[in-house]
Structure 1
């Protein structure tokens, strides 16, 4: 059951990344490559000038990718904190004299809690997508 929740999270994140790539990042990457190709058309430019021009072209794409990556890291950290809280809650119930029956019950409680964390965080992805798209639409990141 927990494996299914983990799989749902992985699929949701993969779908999220594909969507933001298709709708926002890919266009930036295309522009970056076209810009870099234009840097190479100036036959009077020095090697350093061409490298500076290419680096300037890469800036917006790199900043955008870093922004998406940092938001995804925050998402994953929130999920991890939630699951760790479930783990802490169960650990507090287990003592040296806890019976095997109680341990099984607590394992079930942990699994139920962890699955709820997965579902709760997956439900946050549409809002995160809107936040990212809005940031991209408002101008350079």
Structure 2
């Protein structure tokens, strides 16, 4: 079963949002983390202190990754649940001994429902991006 074009649009919209969040938020944090780690080499001659300093430099980046990818995973799980509801609804509509015609109708019902899920979740990408961007901005401070 191929995906409706709206599902592909959702995927590309979500990828573009994640790319922008990475470019605007994660990469600058990563740069700051590297610069911080380089300064640790100037400040500490003791290996244990140096290691602790570099670990501390990475803390914001790790938190940012958890925020970004945790929100993305949650979003994807919610979308997946919507798609699973589509399959459940189509199965529930089938008679006890479905004929080929019934199966085709169920397949069409699944595709229509998937289309609606994709449109709904494409509309939620902007809020996801704004919420995650706000959280990442707070981490960077």
User: TM-score if structure 1 supplies the norm length?
Assistant: 0.90
Q: Give distance in 2, aligned partners of 1:114 and 1:135.
A: 30
Q: Give distance in 2, aligned partners of 1:22 and 1:11.
A: 16
**Contact 2:82-2:117 at 8 Å conserved across structures:** yes
Q: What displacement does 1:16 show?
A: 1.2
Task: State how 1:70-81 maps to structure 2 within 5 Å.
Answer: 70-81=70-81
Q: Give distance in 1, aligned partners of 2:81 and 2:139.
A: 32
More helix per residue: 2
Q: Give aligned pairs, total.
A: 140
Aligned to 1:5: 6
Aligned to 1:37: 38
2:107 counterpart of 1:107: yes
Aligned to 2:63: 63
- 3-state SS of paired residue (2:42): coil
Bigger drift between 108-117 and 131-140 goes to 131-140
Bigger drift between 60-69 and 8-17 goes to 8-17
User: TM-score if structure 2 supplies the norm length?
Assistant: 0.90
Q: What displacement does 1:3 show?
A: 4.8
Q: Deviations over 1:81-104 (max 9, x none)?
A: 000001100111123422211210
Gaps of 5+ in 1: none
